[in-house]
Chain A
């Protein structure tokens, strides 16, 4: 039982750490994270708690993916081909395909 307690604390701390980069701010993230964990405080069975931890791990992955995408999109906008150019190329290909048919 006690090892599960530490698992819960560990994932909570990892999520808190992730929250420091949250787009809406740490002040938004922290109380919500706390509430989410507190709402599950009644969990008793070992299996139930493990499922809860797995859910927290999933959320962690989602947040990491969110940060990656946000950064990637910002970088693409600044340094990659501008989206309108991509759309333009796509349209050109469509026209060529239609002409070929």
Chain B
């Protein structure tokens, strides 16, 4: 039975309650002065790793929260540490990283830190790519269980229940593994004030993007970002014949 060293990659994103505004360039979301917070799916993955510790105690030797992004991402890392991660690692960069680049960085972190379980959110609510976990598993050659609705650890076997159309699917695999979290996995705890204060004493390392080598540049160019078309207002009809007429006009009957 091996000890677990868990890696939880997180992302700082525009808060879920805020409506995104398109920047003047039309190719980005305007983030200036907006409230940013921890990606909700990443909260689930931190909660999952903390719950593994609560269930298995001594077996969990490390929970490392990781983020790659602007310096302010350390706020998200602090939140993660307040929820129960042991330490944080930030790769400080202002470049917009694509999922493949993040997966490549994560692979190096996994190798350096001797990680044997990676739990990540299935997607971030800003880019909605939902690729990082799968690409990381591919790069590492590990098994992956995506969109977990339940995670159970027994010896070196990880059992994951997934929600599929109208039912559930249960898969299991041996460590090392990559698991991505779905919405109904757990109820993330709130990062309370005393815990945020305690988290300030936890270790947070910073590294530069350059130390992670080549091949991290983006391959896609954003051409345009557009809002969904505004909803067309409905109309009222006077009586039944009006309704029938309207339906005929639309070709519905």
B166 pairs with A67, CB closer than 8 A:
no
Number of residues of chain A lying within 8 A (CB) of chain B:
19
A68: CB under 8 A from chain B?
Answer: yes
Q: Which of B16, B123, B183 contacts A80 (CB 8 A)?
A: B183
The smallest beta-carbon distance between A67 and chain B, in angstroms, is 7
Asked if B183 and A14 make an inter-chain contact with CB atoms under 8 angstroms apart, the answer reads: no
**Pairwise interchain contact B183-A68, C-beta atoms closer than 8 A:** no
Say if the beta carbon of A89 comes within 8 Å of chain B: yes
* Pairwise interchain contact B166-A89, C-beta atoms closer than 8 A: yes
A68 to B40, alpha carbons, bound, how many Å? 10
Nearest CB in chain B: distance from A51 CB, A? 22
Contact A14 B193 (CB under 8 A): yes
- In whole angstroms, what is the CA distance A96 to B18 when docked? 42
How far in angstroms is the closest Cβ of chain A from B81?
A: 16
Which size bracket describes the interface of B in this complex? 10 to 19
Interface membership of A33, Cβ < 8 A: no
Nearest opposing residue in chain B for A80, CB measure: B183
Instruction: From A68, A74, A89, give the contact of B16 (CB < 8 A).
Output: A74
> What chain B residues lie within 8 Å of A68 (beta carbons)?
187-188, 190
**B228: which A residues are within 8 A, CB to CB?**
none
CB <8 Å contact, B183 and A67:
no
B183 & A75 in contact (Cβ 8 Å cutoff): yes
Please determine whether A72 and B190 come into contact, CB atoms closer than 8 angstroms: no
Q: How far is the CB of B181 from chain A (nearest CB, A)?
A: 12
Interface residues of A, dominant DSSP: helix
| A55-87 residues at the B interface, CB under 8 angstroms | 64, 67-68, 70-72, 74-76, 78-80
CB of A14 within 8 A of CB of B192, answer yes
Q: Number of residue pairs across A and B with beta carbons under 8 Å?
A: 32
Q: Annotate A1-42 by CB proximity to B: 1 below 8 A, 0 otherwise.
A: 000000000100110011000010000000000000000000
Say how far B51's CB is from chain A's closest CB, in angstroms. 15
Nearest-neighbor residue (CB-CB) of B166 within chain A: A89
Residue B194 interfacial (CB < 8 Å): yes
Q: List 20 A-B contacts (CB under 8 A).
A: A14-B192, A14-B193, A17-B192, A17-B193, A18-B190, A18-B193, A23-B17, A67-B190, A68-B188, A68-B190, A71-B40, A72-B187, A74-B16, A74-B17, A75-B16, A75-B40, A75-B125, A78-B125, A80-B183, A89-B166
B155-191 toward A: CB 8 Å interface, digit per residue (1/0)?
Answer: 0000000000010000000000000000100011010
Whether A13 contacts B193 in the complex (CB less than 8 A), given A71-B40, A75-B183, comes out as yes
Smallest Cβ distance from A69 to chain B, in angstroms? 9
Partner of B194, one of A14, A23, A78, A79: A14
**A76 touching B187 by the CB < 8 A rule?**
no
In the assembled complex, the CB of B199 is this many whole angstroms from the nearest CB of chain A, namely: 14
- Tell me the smallest distance from the CB of B52 to a CB of chain A, in Å: 20
